């Protein structure tokens, strides 16, 4: 029977009384290299002796002592002790009743946020998707002329490629903040931050373009008593107040707005067909002769350019997964369908009616094309109705951008990329007021930085939207490669994913060719936002660089005004990096544990990692888990690695209870990818997947 050691102490991670039961050394019959070279494995006694020696590694006495290291310091004049964390501990904890109450409440809250049905969920993004007809049609006609209906039809058909991709991603990760959340669970944090920056820019562009277009429509009908940028600010303020009323009330407002818009479009289409029948095909024939191309290559070019710009008629579609966690189970595919089919009909039918009734030169001269169509079909009353509809539905697009951004900002806050205050909510409406106010302020900055120019923001918006749409097939490709075991449905063909990835750069290049200045606007805004998020992610790295600069000038250490700067920087770094994260493990395989620690080191700003194992009393703790945790604790001198054993099963309530006990957000509790036999979904646990 192999010798046994005394039980480890939960506070120090060392043997009780710092002693182990004595054993006699094993008398080896051969040299170690001979054992390795022979075909016979070492005896049981020899292998057990090596394991016991490894477990008896002597550590410093109890206390906050640092890990010893021989790594040279990059700081020549100052101490680098702050870079080396203390020793980890081994403990067993018993979750208390108060923790279980909090855990059950958190799980219940997570389930109760699923309040949006297929129509209310469709309305939140539908105002942006179906309201884009007001600014997409004039842009497409300018480059595609009489071939615009063909271009728009091809553009709307592309969503048949994206819908199964988005459905599969949504079934795998029904969590808010997509596609940032998708990429965070299947790749590294750098790529996730890039996607978050693009999403923030996309949502801001959605709000600004919608508000500015609404004011532009109003200015085309009446003389405003104030500049247009003041009107844009007023719209942003009004819908800030609507957003603060809460997500459920905002969805109802959005549904009312969308219903009004669909009614107006139905009236316009019916009136258009009646008028077309009355006047015959004379106008559409005249437009055809005035706008047709002279060669087949010119026709193809116009159709392609119109197709590239026609994708703007689908803006807002990317907002739907951002609030998928609030959509009732099984409704997400219906939401995508509810947005797609009306977009096909509305864009293509209205575009055809415009060419059949309105002279081509009139279409090319003005942005208020649909109000002109309404006036020619019925008269001034219908024109006024359409203008009112344009203003209302485009304002609904502002609401779409705000609510989608709030879901993303709250997720970024939980992941410690932005301050925790972004999760604060109003007591009655539960509206995230810090997120709402911050995003509206950011949208105002974007609008102001363009000189209050709708043209500039629209150009940037077109390319940002295309890149955001490329994140979905990219995320699914990474999902299939890195998290292939994760249960999901449907299973989209790899050829569809690759086709979508090929299609995006083609359309991107087409938009740049139509107007090369769009690339400059896109690059400038994207670099600025990515730089901001990169800074928020690498706070301690920035502080370390400042500490290094301070180290390079020894004279600063003697000045009374600057001699405490080093201690201030150290305190900030230590405070930021002592925020713990949790790794949930099932086995004691050291290679698996090693890769999880590597992920934390490379992606999280922390020196405190807690390895947690939920133990089944019948199976017990894996035999090498404690020993391997000790090895990893020594292998990473910059990280304190604690091992915690928790009696109980691995389920959503216990995970939420543990999160409350440790005061760690579930989104900062990491696990390996579950397989098809795992009975809980990722959204139920609220944790992040970081390995295969």
415 with 668: CB under 8 angstroms?
yes
265 vs 110 pLDDT, higher one = 265
Quick: pLDDT tens for 522-534.
Answer: 898 899 999 999 9
Q: What is the pLDDT of residues 115-167, one digit of tens each?
A: 889 999 999 899 889 998 888 888 899 899 999 999 999 999 999 999 999 99
Res. 43: pLDDT tops 70: no
Round to whole Å and give the CA distance between 546 and 287: 66
For residue 671, pLDDT beyond 90: yes
Length of the chain: 692
Q: Give the pLDDT confidence score for residue 654 in this predicted structure.
A: 95
Nearest CA among 509, 534, 533, 535 for reference residue 522: 509
- Span 238-250, average pLDDT: 82
pLDDT of residue 9: 40
Q: What residues form DSSP beta bridges with 672?
A: 691
Least confident of 216-220, 230-234, 595-599: 216-220
The whole-number pLDDT of residue 245 equals: 85
pLDDT of 5 = 39
Residue 55, pLDDT score:
57
Closest CA to 6 of 626, 587, 646: 626
- The 10s digit of each residue's pLDDT in 577-593 is 999 999 999 999 999 99
In this predicted structure, the answer to whether residue 2 has a pLDDT above a threshold of 70 is no
Question: Among 448, 461, 446, which Cα is nearest to 515's?
Answer: 461
Please report where in the chains the tokens 């719209």 appear, as a residue: 235
pLDDT reading at 516 higher than 70: yes
Look at the alpha carbons of 141, 147, 150, 151 in this order and tell me if their dihedral is positive or negative: negative
pLDDT digit string, tens, across residues 76-102? 888 888 888 888 999 999 999 999 999
Pairing assessment for the beta strands 90-92 and 608-615 based on DSSP bridges: unpaired
pLDDT at 585: 95
pLDDT for 145 equals: 92
Q: Averaged over 21-27, what is the pLDDT?
A: 47
Mean pLDDT of 446-469: 88
- Higher per-residue confidence, 343 vs 46: 343
Confidence of residue 501 (pLDDT cuts 50, 70, 90): very high
Task: List Cα–Cα distances, 259 to 209, 325, 403, in angstroms.
Answer: 21, 24, 19
Q: Which residues contact 143 (CB under 8 A, 6 or more apart)?
A: 302, 305, 306, 309, 514
Residue 516 tokens, joined: 């090369």
- For residue 441, is pLDDT > 80? yes
CB-count burial class (<10 Å; 0-12, 13-18, 19+) for 625 = buried
Average pLDDT, the chain: 87
Q: For residue 22, how many other CB atoms are within 10 A of its CB?
A: 6
Q: Give the DSSP per-residue string, 586-640.
A: S---HHHHHHHHHHHHHH---SEEEEEEEEPTTT-S-TTHHHHHHHHHHH-TTSE
Confidence bin at 33 (pLDDT 50/70/90): very low
Return the pLDDT at 42. 63
Instruction: For 597-624, write each residue's pLDDT tens digit.
Output: 999 999 999 999 999 999 987 778 998 9
Confidence band of 52 (pLDDT split at 50, 70, 90): low
pTM summary value: 0.87
| 233 torsion bin: left (phi>0), alpha (psi -120 to 50), beta (else) | alpha
The long-range contacts involving 551-556, CB below 8 angstroms and separated by at least 24 positions, are 551/75, 551/76, 551/77, 551/78, 552/76, 554/77
Given a cut of 70, whether residue 57 has pLDDT beyond it is: no
pLDDT above 90 covers a percentage of the chain that reads 58
Q: Read off the pLDDT of each residue in 674-691 and give the average, rounded to a whole number.
A: 91
Average pLDDT over residues 269-287: 94
Give the tens place of pLDDT for each residue, 389-431: 999 999 888 988 998 899 899 999 999 998 888 988 888 888 8
Beta carbons within 10 angstroms of residue 30's beta carbon: 13
Say whether domain 66-95+578-692 belongs to CATH 1.10.3470.
no
CATH topology assigned to domain 127-166+195-524: Amino acid/polyamine transporter I (1.20.1740)
Residues facing residue 670 across a β-bridge: 583, 688
CB 3 within 8 A of CB 48: yes
Measured from the Cβ of residue 227, the count of other Cβ atoms closer than 10 Å reads 12
What's the CA gap between 175 and 131, in Å, rounded?
26
For residues 682 and 652, what is the distance between their CA atoms, to the nearest angstrom? Answer: 10
Quote the pLDDT of residue 546: 93
Q: Is 437 left (phi over 0), alpha (psi -120 to 50) or beta?
A: alpha
Give percent of the chain with pLDDT exceeding 70: 90
pLDDT over 50 (residue 1): no
Mean pLDDT of 460-474: 92
Between 272 and 399, name the one with better pLDDT.
272
Check whether 537 has a pLDDT greater than 70. yes
Residue 123: closest CA among 323, 329, 310, 391: 323
Q: Does the pLDDT of residue 456 top 70, yes or no?
A: yes
> How far apart are the C-alpha atoms of 323 and 334, rounded to whole Å?
15
Of 573, 482, 408, 422, the residue nearest 188 (C-alpha): 482
CA dihedral 620, 626, 632, 633 (to 10 degrees): 130
Q: Are 511 and 483 in contact (CB under 8 A)?
A: no
Q: How confident is the model at residue 454 (pLDDT cuts 50, 70, 90)?
A: confident
For 374-384, the pLDDT digits (tens) are: 999 999 999 99
How many angstroms separate the most distant Cα atoms in the chain?
Answer: 107
């Amino acid at each position: 029977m192999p010798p046994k050691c005394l039980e480890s102490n939960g506070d120090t991670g060392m043997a009780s009384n710092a002693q182990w039961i004595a054993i006699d050394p094993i008398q080896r019959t051969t040299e170690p290299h001979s054992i390795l070279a022979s075909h016979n494995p070492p005896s049981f006694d020899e292998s057990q002796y090596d394991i016991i020696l490894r477990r008896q590694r002597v550590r410093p006495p109890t206390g906050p002592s640092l890990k010893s290291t021989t790594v040279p310091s990059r700081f020549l004049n100052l101490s680098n002790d702050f870079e080396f964390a203390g020793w980890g501990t081994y403990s067993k904890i018993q979750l208390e009743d108060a923790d279980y109450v909090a855990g059950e409440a958190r799980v219940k809250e997570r389930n109760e946020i699923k309040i949006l049905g297929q129509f209310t969920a469709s309305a939140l993004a539908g105002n942006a998707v179906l309201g884009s007809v007001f600014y997409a049609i004039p842009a497409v006609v300018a480059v595609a002329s009489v071939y615009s209906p063909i271009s728009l039809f091809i553009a709307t058909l592309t969503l048949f490629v994206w819908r199964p991709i988005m459905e599969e991603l949504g079934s795998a990760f029904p969590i808010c903040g997509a596609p940032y959340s998708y990429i965070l669970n299947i790749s590294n944090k750098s790529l996730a931050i890039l996607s978050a920056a693009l999403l923030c820019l996309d949502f801001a562009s959605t709000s600004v373009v919608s508000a500015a277009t609404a004011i532009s429509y109003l200015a085309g009908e009446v003389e405003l008593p104030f500049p247009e940028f003041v009107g844009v600010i007023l719209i942003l303020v009004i819908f800030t107040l609507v957003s603060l009323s809460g997500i459920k009330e905002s969805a109802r407002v959005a549904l009312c707005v969308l219903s009004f818009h669909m009614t107006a479009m139905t009236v316009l289409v019916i009136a258009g067909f009646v008028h077309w029948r009355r006047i015959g095909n004379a106008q559409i024939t005249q437009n055809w002769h005035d706008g047709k191309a002279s060669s087949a290559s010119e026709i193809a070019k116009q159709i392609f350019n119109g197709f590239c710009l026609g994708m703007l008629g689908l803006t807002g579609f990317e907002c739907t997964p951002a609030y998928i966690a609030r959509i009732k189970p099984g409704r997400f595919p219906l939401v995508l369908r509810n947005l797609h089919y009306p977009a096909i009909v509305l864009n293509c039918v209205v575009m055809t009616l415009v060419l059949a009734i309105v002279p081509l030169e009139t279409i090319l001269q003005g942005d208020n094309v649909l109000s002109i169509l309404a006036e020619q079909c019925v008269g001034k009353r219908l024109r006024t109705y359409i203008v009112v509809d344009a203003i209302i539905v485009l304002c609904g697009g502002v609401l779409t951008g705000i609510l989608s951004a709030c879901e993303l900002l709250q997720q970024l806050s939980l992941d410690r990329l932005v301050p925790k205050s972004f999760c604060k909510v109003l007591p009655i409406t539960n509206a995230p007021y810090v997120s709402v106010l911050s995003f509206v302020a950011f949208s105002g900055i974007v609008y102001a930085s363009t000189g209050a120019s709708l043209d500039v923001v629209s150009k940037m918006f077109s390319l940002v939207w295309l890149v955001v749409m490329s994140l979905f097939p990219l995320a699914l490709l990474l999902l299939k490669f890195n998290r292939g075991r994760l249960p999901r449905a449907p299973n989209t063909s790899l050829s569809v994913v690759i086709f979508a990835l090929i299609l995006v750069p083609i359309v991107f290049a087409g938009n740049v060719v139509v107007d090369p200045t769009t690339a400059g606007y896109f690059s400038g805004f994207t670099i600025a936002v990515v730089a901001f998020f990169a800074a928020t992610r690498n706070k301690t790295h920035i502080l370390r660089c400042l500490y290094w600069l301070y180290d390079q000038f020894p004279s600063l250490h003697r000045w009374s005004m600057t001699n405490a700067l080093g201690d201030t920087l150290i305190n900030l770094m230590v405070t930021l990096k002592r925020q713990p994260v949790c790794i949930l493990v099932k086995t004691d395989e050291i290679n698996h544990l090693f890769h999880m620690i590597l992920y934390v080191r490379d992606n999280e700003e922390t020196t405190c990692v807690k390895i947690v194992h939920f133990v089944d009393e019948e199976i017990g703790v894996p035999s090498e888990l404690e020993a391997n945790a000790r090895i990893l604790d020594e292998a990473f001198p910059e990280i304190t690695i604690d091992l915690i054993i928790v009696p109980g099963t691995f389920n959503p309530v216990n995970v939420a209870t543990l999160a409350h006990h440790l005061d760690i957000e579930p989104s900062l509790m990491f696990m390996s990818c579950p397989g098809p036999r795992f009975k809980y979904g990722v959204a139920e646990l609220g944790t992040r997947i970081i390995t295969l």
